[in-house]
Structure formats: C-alpha cells, structure tokens
Structure 1
C-alpha cells in the first residue's frame, strides 16, 4: 500500500470513527480537547490532499487539524495504564475510550499526511535542531526537580510529589537520543532504531505540547471552554513552560529526525 493510499484510508477511518462516536458522552478530563467538527474538517481535507496532492496548504491545514485532534492521546494512554493494571489512581484510571480511538486514528492520519508533506520538505539545520532538542529535554524535569527541592517560583498549588524519577529518566533518554541524531556516534547505531526513537518521541511530545497550545488558543477565540484559567497569570506561565517546552522539544526532535533520515538515506545507484 502506498503512503497516499494509507493516508487516505487513515483519514477516512478517522472520519467514520468520529461520526460514529459523536453522541458518546466524554469524560471531564477531555474538556478543551479538539471539538468533533475540527476532526471532521481535518479528515476531509486530509483525504482531499491525498487525492489531489495540491495545493500543499491543504495538506498543512489538514495535518495541523489532525494533530490537534490527536492531542491528549498520551494522557489517554496513561489513564489506560492505570485502568489495565488496577493500580489505585482514583479518577485518573477512567478513560474516554471512544475519544481515545479517534485520537489514535488521528495520530496515524497525522503521521501519514505529514509523511506526504515531508517528501517536499528539506529539514533546515539538523545539527542545531538536535542540540536545541538536547537543551529542551532538561526544561520540564529540572522544573519538577526544583519544585521537589522546595523551589517556590511557578510552583503548582498543592504540589507534593516525590522525586521525579520518571521525568529524570525520560530527560536522560531524550537528551541522549537528541545527540544521537546529530553526533557521529549516532551514525554507528542501527538506523531504524534511531528513526523509530526519533519519530516516536516527536509524536508523543508534539501531541502533548499541542494539547495546551491549541487548547489555550481555542479558549481565547471562544471555540472551546478549556480547563485553563486565562486570568491566572502564574498558571498560564507554568502551562506555557511545561507544555510549551514539550511542543518545542517535539518539533526540534522531529526536525532533527527528518534531517538524520535524509542524510542517512541509502544512495540509489543508477545503472550505466
């Protein structure tokens, strides 16, 4: 199956799933997620772009709409983990299964429509993008470590979490992975391993980061009533620091991965 056909199928499957689940009540944690009409429009534009392959603006609009529709999938997965394992987590173990299905399909459609767009895109400066990603890997984990140590600046109300072991481990993986994309030793690693790690990280980070970015923008424009209090300056700054760093981190990782993929692509030999 070609990428065009796969992107068309993914877009149409997302459209069908959205229309089939539109009447299913959503859980409160999805407040501020992409409205159903955004997903419908994005899937239609995505399908149109896979057929026409132009204008390219349609593809970018579709990709952005699908990315917004996929936002929140990582949160769904965390909640599903607690639901499956039975680890006590209160309301955090409740999952919007219908919405999760739509968001998973939206992510697949985002990746496939994005692949069509990236065919026409040359990554600018993969080296600086990789080092930018390396720096951004520290923002969120260091902030949580600072709050754990008692720091008060932008400290969330009622913050009482323990040592952020998971975040620090993710920081180490993200930092090393970012360097692997741009340093010579990364070229000695299995190419597929580096690409899978890069694109997986980019997908997870951009979906989480775009959740807040699109949510705040939609709230400001009156499209949705998001969970963020727009008059809470400290809260907005904190959300921008955390989710904004994730979004920038994901975009930097994605750009560096694209540059790595293009630079390490097997050379095609032409017969004489």
Structure 2
C-alpha cells in the first residue's frame, strides 16, 4: 500500500501545528497532538509490513486515529466562514489556524489510509467475493436517521421541554431544516433509481463531503467523551447532568449513524454506477 505519503503529510501537519503559536483556544475535548502522530506511524507501518493481519491492524487503527484527530474540522470550517465573510459572530469568527490545519489534514489522511487499507483487504482476500451492500436500504436508513436532530431543534423552538437545555435562546432552526432537506434528498438520490439519472459526480461529491462532515463531528463527541472518561483529555462533558448528556449523546450518535449509513450508500452507489463519468 502506498500510505507513506499521507502519513508523512499528517506527521508534517502535526509538527507544524505544534510549533505555530495558538492564539485561539476552543479545542477542549479534541484529540491531543500525539493522536495524529501515532496514526502517522501506524500508516507507515502498514505500508512497510508484509504480514496481512499486521497490515490491516495498523492500517485500520491508523485510519481511526486520524479520524479522531480530525474531530472539530467542521467547527473550524464554520469559524473560517465567519472570519472570511466578516459576518458578525463574536468569538465564533476566530480560528485556531494551526489546529485547523492539523484537523483538516487528519481528515484527508483518514480517508486515504482507510481507502488504501480497504483496497488491500479486498485484494488479499482468500478469493471469496466480498459482501455487497445495496445502496437502497442504506440510503433509506440514512434518510431516516437524518431527522432526529433537526426535529429535536424544531420541537424545542416550538416550546417543547423534554431534554431541552435549561437556558435555550436559539431561534427557528433554519439551517438545521435546510440541511435536513438537503440530506434527505441526497439519501433518496442514493437509494432510488432517479438518482442514477443524475450526473454521477453531482451525487458523489456532496455525498462524500457530507459523510466526512458527519463522521468527523460524531468522532469529536464519541472519542472526546471516551477519552474524558479515561482521563486522557480534559473535555467539556458534564457527566453529572444526565438529561443533557443523554440528549447530546443521542444527537451525536444519530450523526454517527447518519454518516456511516450515508457513506455506505455512497460507496455502494459509486460501485453500482461504475467508473464512467456521466
């Protein structure tokens, strides 16, 4: 596997971000610096080793660690948007550029290392045909799990009190509902025949982008909470507030399932429609 390059780029991003001054701090609960560094080492090992089991263990572990290190990249993107446009957003318009660089490169490395490991796993299988997952049921599953978060925000906006934060000042969830419509439409395009009549790249590009955004955001919560429980990081989760913990956990887990099912549907769609550009 040719994974030395993404591993090297990831390691370089870690080194650069470590020496650059960090003027903005919003990385509480995010992956510490050693996570992408270890991921880069594992990716290199997976490229140099010959024993199949060791290659797969190093490759998949490296990809998962890179994904953990990428957690928060969506927040970086939102902050960069407000910084670039000048739209008033207070502290949310400030960007931790060294950390943003590290998280962005880690996301790319996670995708490259994961894809390379998957190709190697398939190429070195024992001859049995890999199980093919249909895009239809995965697309419908993604469609279904895209609803909980926007509907919860709408419920709170309309006065619902179940699992609602004690202090809730947000207005009508316009962006959440826009994302719901976009995600639902994309999921159905992957699941139904009319999606195959669209230009292939028009479906695949936003689908992979949405998958990366959803999984990286979910990774921030899942890995951040686990590392805080284990004492690895000092995260923002208040384990004493059970109601808030359940609500937030449910939202992030729905994003994780949404991202995984959308990614599976996208991969199945990509294979079913072939490599020919349409």
Tell me the TM-score normalised to structure 2 length: 0.89
CA contact (8 A) 1:39 1:69 kept: yes
Question: What is the 5 A alignment of 1:205-244?
Answer: 205-244=214-253
Distance 1:266 1:109 in 2: 23
Q: 1:47 aligns with which of 44, 55, 61?
A: 44
Cα distance per residue 1:51-105 (max 9 Å; x no partner): 4474212111011000001110000111111111222211111111000001111
Distance 1:42 1:71 in 2: 14
Q: Report the CA distance between 1:161 and its aligned residue.
A: 1.4
Q: Which residue of 2 aligns with 1:137?
A: 146
Name the SS of the counterpart of 1:29 in structure 2.
coil
Name the SS of the counterpart of 1:181 in structure 2.
helix
Q: 1:19 aligns with which of 9, 15, 18?
A: 15
Q: Cα RMSD over matched residues?
A: 1.7
Q: Which residue of 1 aligns with 2:69?
A: 69
Cα distance per residue 1:211-249 (max 9 Å; x no partner): 001000001111101011112111211211221111110
CA contact (8 A) 1:34 1:69 kept: yes
Unaligned 5+ runs, structure 2: 123-129
CA contact (8 A) 1:122 1:259 kept: no
Out of 230-239 and 94-103, give the one that drifted further. 230-239
Q: Report the CA distance between 1:33 and its aligned residue.
A: 0.4
Q: Which residue of 1 aligns with 2:262?
A: 253
Q: Which residue of 1 aligns with 2:27?
A: 30
Question: What is the 5 A alignment of 1:197-212?
Answer: 197-212=206-221
Cα distance per residue 1:3-29 (max 9 Å; x no partner): x54x43222111012123224436432
Name the SS of the counterpart of 2:191 in structure 1.
coil
Q: Report the CA distance between 1:201 and its aligned residue.
A: 0.8
1:8 is the counterpart of 2:17: no
Q: Which residue of 1 aligns with 2:271?
A: 262
Distance 1:153 1:10 in 2: 45
Question: CA, structure 1 residues 146+28, in 2 after alignment: closer, same or farther (shift >3 Å)?
Answer: same
Out of 87-96 and 18-27, give the one that drifted further. 18-27
Distance 1:47 1:71 in 2: 22
Distance 1:151 1:118 in 2: 44
Distance 1:128 1:113 in 2: 27
Distance 2:202 2:47 in 1: 28
Distance 1:246 1:210 in 2: 9
Out of 41-50 and 212-221, give the one that drifted further. 41-50
Distance 2:262 2:136 in 1: 11
Q: Report the CA distance between 1:148 and its aligned residue.
A: 0.5
